[in-house]
Amino acid sequence: MSKKNKEIYSVDRKTGEITNECLHHNNRKRFKADTPFDNSIVPYLIMAFCATVDGVVFYSLFSGISYDSPMMLVVQIAGFLFGFDIVPIFIGIQYKRLRQGITKDKFVLIMALVVCGLAFAMNIALRIMTIDLISPSTVSTATNYMGTVTQETTETGIDATAIALTIFGMGIPVVTSLGSCMISFITYNPMKIKKQRIAEMMEDTRDEVRRFEAILDDYDAEPDFSENLEMEDEAKYQEMQMMHKAQVIGYCDYVRERLKEQLGNPTSNNVLSESVCEAILARLDKELGLLNTQAATDIPAVAAPAMDISAEKETRYTTMIRANKATA
């Protein structure tokens, strides 16, 4: 149920049934997170923070040893982020599935550990090999005041600052990787998710059973319910059929009247068109007779007056045709 819709029950527009909008409300309360850290969004935020920290650390490493190509720098950082942040998350999820007995395949977990171990080894090797770049250089200058000779001596060495930065660069990715793995292991609970889905499916099934029982009760309350529905459908079908027949008769009668009016007017036809009109009029008379006979068979009370009216019109228009012929 959405936050805007506070109704407990609503009517389905497709089926017309009353549906319970709070069907899964109790289950959601039952499986609600106990602490803010158990919410679904918080672990992702923490993992994103760990990935950001690793990205800054790796940038400081590859920006000093890499080429000036920005694309190469992005690819190197992305490769290390995959090994230090994405793979540990998958390790935590897969280990949780193994612990709960959902899967027994350890090969994928072993391969993920190998990938993560290779990333750790590459980081350590790069840090050790580039420790000289982090070390500061010392320059000593000696001047002979008795003459004009100046002597400069440059000394390089590994001091405590370089060692501390190297240890920091090697240790921080390990800490963030272990943190991402631990968070994914703690927050991901496939058994709880499966249990919640089964509970919701059981509630949906109970609701369907309730609906079917209500339908059966309606049939039991009225034993002839299906027969009554069939009778109502048949009555509506006959009514629609008679309405269509009445429309057809009305259209044919209208055409018939127009033709007779044309035959009754001496200025509207000639000898050639008169025969054609008489043929069409005879065909319409025949079809109208069949339709009226069928309508009289279906509904005698309504069809009888129609026959009288049509006979009266037939007599009147026959007289008009004879008068028209006599005048011609």
For 186-224, what is each residue's pLDDT tens digit?
A: 888 888 888 888 988 998 888 889 888 888 887 777 777
181: pLDDT strictly greater than 70: yes
Residue 160 vs residue 137, higher pLDDT: 160
Question: Residue 95 has what pLDDT?
Answer: 92
Best CA proximity match to 128, nearest among 79, 186, 65, 83: 65
The predicted model gives 241-261 an average pLDDT of: 78
SS3 154: strand
The 10s digit of each residue's pLDDT in 296-306 is 666 544 434 44
DSSP assignment of 231-244 equals: HHHHHHHHHHHHHH
Give the dihedral sign, CA 164/165/170/171: positive
Residue 96 · residue 181 · CB < 8 Å: no
Question: Residue 320 has what pLDDT?
Answer: 43
Q: Which amino acid is at 171?
A: G
118 Cβ neighbours under 8 A, 6+ residues apart: 83
174 Cβ neighbours under 8 A, 6+ residues apart: 120
Residue 112 · residue 99 · CB < 8 Å: no
E strand or H helix that includes residue 3? none
Question: Residue 142 has what pLDDT?
Answer: 45
Cβ atoms < 10 Å from Cβ of 128: 11
In the predicted model, what is the mean pLDDT of the chain?
Answer: 75
SS3 156: strand
Band (113; pLDDT cuts 50, 70, 90): very high
Question: Residue 149 has what pLDDT?
Answer: 45
The 10s digit of each residue's pLDDT in 131-153 is 887 665 544 444 444 444 444 44
Q: Where are the alpha helices (DSSP H) in the chain?
A: 25-30, 41-65, 70-81, 87-99, 107-129, 131-134, 160-187, 190-221, 225-264, 271-298, 300-327
Question: Residue 122 has what pLDDT?
Answer: 92
Question: Residue 321 has what pLDDT?
Answer: 43
Q: Which amino acid is at 130?
A: T
Question: Residue 124 has what pLDDT?
Answer: 92
Question: Residue 137 has what pLDDT?
Answer: 52
Residue 39 · residue 33 · CB < 8 Å: yes
What is the spatial distance between Cα 169 and Cα 65, in angstroms, rounded to a whole number?
14
Cβ atoms < 10 Å from Cβ of 265: 11
- C-alpha dihedral (27, 29, 30, 33), degrees to nearest 10: 130
Residue 109 · residue 95 · CB < 8 Å: yes
Band (178; pLDDT cuts 50, 70, 90): very high
SS3 37: helix
Q: pTM of the entire structure?
A: 0.54
SS3 105: coil
Band (81; pLDDT cuts 50, 70, 90): very high
65 Cβ neighbours under 8 A, 6+ residues apart: 126, 130, 133
Q: Dihedrals φ, ψ of 13, to 5°?
A: -70, -25
Task: Give Dmax over CA atoms of the chain in angstroms.
Answer: 158
Q: Let me know if 322 is exposed, middle or buried by CB neighbors in 10 A (0-12, 13-18, 19+).
A: exposed
